[in-house]
Structure 1
Amino acid sequence: MAEPAGALGRVDKLVRDALVGRDALLVLGLCGAQGSGKSTLAAGLRDRLVRDGVPSAILSIDDLYLTRGEREALARDVHPLLRTRGVPGTHDVALGLATIDALARGEAAALPRFDKAADDRLPSNLWDRAEAGTRVLIFEGWCVGARPQTEAALAEPVNVLEREDDPEGVWRRFANDALAGPYQALFARVDRLVLLAAPGFETVLHWRTEQEHALRAQAGNGAGVMSDAEVARFISHYERLTRHISSEMPARADLVLALDQKRRVR
């Protein structure tokens, strides 16, 4: 998938300006809905920085997902929808904090990796590593930097999934409580926040379906690879917070890149 056209130069300038006179690790938060091109943008930025002698690494919030076994336990003990990776409460926040803190101390650090096709975390011997002295960590993900909703906003379901599978709001309140708690400590590590803003949630569904087609072509029809109908249900888990981010985050992000349907910066 190509990076959003016109985005790389703007994000690169934001990072380099932030590095001037700075000795500490710079954590760039890169938030964007599924399929918006943030992973490709992150890779392009890292490669450009490394080429210019700025040691850089990428950590995706998707790589912090709890293991399948841990999510099965949440599904049993809290709510069945927590079996599906995605919302706050399904990530290992402590692992993310430990990774960032090690890099902030100037140490080398293992970078967790999650296998979406297998729907489980890769063994630690297969993780990437960030070198000692890393100056920029690009922390990317669909909800990086998000803030919780009000209790009143949680009352009404936003889609069929919430209405039929979470009529009492247990799942969405659990996710919102997690976002209000441990996730804010994680997102407080972000020094600069960039938002890739989709034109609407319908476009996000189209982008995410394209993304799954690419995964299917690469990995085959293994565990965790979804049909189009499964993608539509899967993305319903993200709809509430994606809509909230699109309305709440632009006013406070350091850089907002509004995308059109073809992922070009408007």
Structure 2
Amino acid sequence: MRSPDPWLDEFLARERLPAAYAQTVQSVAVPLAERIAAAARPGGIVVGLCGPQASGKSTLTAVLGRLLEARGLRVAALSLDDLYLTRAERAELAGRAHPLLATRGAPGTHDVALGRNLLVQLRRPGRTLLPRFDKAADDRGPGEAFEGPADVVIFEGWCVGAAPQPAAALAQPVNELERVRDEDGTWRRFVNAQLEGPYRELFAGLDLLILLQAPGFEVVLAWRQEQERKLRERLAREGAGGKRAMSDEEVAAFIAHYERLTRWILAEMPARADVVVTLDAGRRATLRP
């Protein structure tokens, strides 16, 4: 069945989304867009969109952007992933603080100062260069320009808005990665300190916080492996030279870096998020009353 909006049909086809996603647009994205539009004010607002890996943040961000633009608002999208430090910068950090910081993902592996500056600049008149991170190359790629000012900045990422854990919660490892490679807890204490300091300042600029709530960490791995398989297929179609995507086994090892904080967010954030969108294992979304 075709949707009543031609742009939505084109979007579903381009993103290879099932026709059923049109229902998500009507039941979740449209009400969210209405709430965001109602909150808009002179000088612009920043909307934080938090969700675990492969939960559909980028897709929802694109749909919200289209819906808000249809309401006459200028929208800029910024992904936390695009703020990752370069591979060389993470290598330097790993040598200085902890070897696990060579892997992108955890707080401490982003350029927080750049993020704070961008959230301000995007709401001002003029041209802002947005960074782009190439995950297949695991390094920074060419950026894109946005002509401001933005009325709404959608800032999406897997730990956007995350709060630090209590110190006592850091004592016990949550998985084999932490047991073997962070035996004394140095890495997880470093990550938590980042949330207490620089990231708290970054997230303080959020005017509205939306959480995409997965049913549990266990389903996130399957989602992430599916996402990487699609990346492998795309790179094969494009003949992308030396770029590569991870195998299922590599994804499992990679996502272990995210497990502690993902579990903490799913347990802690729903009580304070402004909006919670619950997801089932098939990523069917429901806007929580």
Letter in 1 for 2:232: R
Deviation larger for 2-11 or 80-89: 2-11
Bigger drift between 34-43 and 52-61 goes to 52-61
Structure 1 residue aligned with 2:263: 243
Match of 1:103 in 2: 122
Match of 2:187, SS?
A: helix
Distance in 1 (CA, whole Å) between partners of 2:67 and 2:84 is 28
Give 1:224 deviation, angstroms.
5.4
Contact 2:76–2:122 (CA under 8 A) maintained in structure 1 = no
**4+ residue stretches of structure 1 with deviation over 6 A?**
none
Offset from partner CA, 1:54-79 (integer Å, 9 cap, x none):
11010000000000000011111211
- Alpha-carbon RMSD across the aligned residues, in angstroms, is 1.5
The offset of 1:136, in angstroms, is: 0.6
Identity %, equivalent residues:
56
Q: Which residue of 2 aligns with 1:16?
A: 37
TM-score by length of 1: 0.94
Q: Residue type of the partner of 1:252?
A: R
How far does the alpha carbon of each residue in 1:85-128 deviate from its partner, in whole angstroms, 9 at most, with x for none? 00000000011111111123334311111000000011xxx311
Distance 1:12 1:52 in 2: 9
1:76 is aligned to 2:92: no
Moved more, 42-51 or 172-181: 42-51
CA apart distance, 1:17: 1.7
Q: What residue is the counterpart of 1:189 in the other structure?
A: 205
Distance 1:224 1:237, change over 3 A: farther
How do residues 1-266 of structure 1 correspond to structure 2 at under 5 angstroms? 2=17, 5=24, 6-19=27-40, 22-122=41-141, 126-220=142-236, 222-223=242-243, 225-266=245-286
Letter in 1 for 2:271: A
Q: 1:116 to 1:89 in 2, by over 3 A?
A: same
Q: What letter corresponds to residue 267 of structure 2 in structure 1?
A: S
Gaps of 5+ in 1: none
Is the Cα contact below 8 Å between 1:115 and 1:121 reproduced in 2? Answer: yes
| Partner secondary structure for residue 110 of structure 1 | strand
| Aligned-partner SS, 2:85 | coil
Q: Equivalents in 1 of 2:244, 2:97: separation in Å?
A: 22
Q: For CA contacts below 8 A with separation 6 or more, give which structure has more relative contact order.
A: 1
CA distance in structure 2 between the aligned counterparts of 1:76 and 1:7, rounded to whole angstroms: 44
Check conservation: 2:235, 2:244, Cα contact below 8 A: no
2-structure distance, mates of 1:141, 1:209 = 18
Instruction: Give 2:5's aligned residue.
Output: none
Return 5+ residue gaps in structure 2 as ranges: 1-14
**TM-score, normalised by the number of residues in structure 2:** 0.87
> SS of 1:109's equivalent?
strand
Q: Distance in 2 between matches of 1:189 and 1:101?
A: 9
How far off is 1:188 after superposition? 0.7
Q: Are 1:119 and 1:224, in contact at CA under 8 Å, matched by a contact in 2?
A: no
The answer to whether the 8 A contact 2:49-2:155 is kept is: yes
Report the count of equivalent residues: 261
How far apart are the structure 2 equivalents of 1:249 and 1:52?
A: 29
- Which is worse superposed, 8-17 or 194-203? 8-17
- Distance across 1 between alignment mates of 2:157 and 2:260: 16
Structure 1 counterpart of 2:36, one-letter code? V
Structure number with bigger Rg? 2
